[in-house]
């Protein structure tokens, strides 16, 4: 669970992204634009965040198996 500061930063980033998307809504997207957006996101994402997601996967998969595909806390 993210702490309050992380949530605030994520919320602020999401708001900026939404405003950017609204301002650019009528512009045509190109594959290069999508590639650049993806590359920028990948380059600016802390590797620790990605590692946490990888490390959680075995626990999540065990919970899904135990719930026989039903609901889990994840």
pLDDT tens digits for 10-58? 777 878 887 887 777 666 667 888 888 888 888 888 888 889 888 999 9
Report yes or no on 72 lying in a domain. no
Q: Look-up: residue for tokens 């609204």?
A: 22
Whether 11 is covered by a domain: the verdict is yes
Any domain includes 71:
no
Whether residue 74 is contained in a domain is answered as: no
pLDDT at 6: 56
Residue 8 resides in a domain: yes
- pLDDT band per the 50, 70, 90 thresholds, residue 59: very high
Q: What pLDDT shows up at residue 64?
A: 92
Domain that includes residue 55, residue range: 4-66
Residue 21's nearest CA partner among 6, 39, 33, 31 is: 33
Q: Identify the pLDDT of residue 5.
A: 57
* pLDDT of the residue at 26: 67
CA distances from 35 to 11, 21, 31, 39 (A): 24, 16, 6, 6
Q: What CA–CA distance (Å, rounded) separates 6 from 3?
A: 5
Number of domains in the chain: 1
């Amino acid at each position: 669970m993210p702490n309050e500061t992380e949530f605030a930063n994520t919320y602020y980033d999401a708001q900026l992204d939404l405003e950017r998307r609204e301002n650019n809504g009528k512009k045509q997207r190109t594959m290069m634009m999508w590639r650049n957006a993806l590359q920028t996101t990948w380059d600016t994402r802390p590797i620790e965040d990605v590692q946490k997601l990888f490390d959680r996967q075995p626990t999540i998969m065990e919970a899904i198996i135990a719930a026989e595909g039903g609901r889990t806390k994840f």
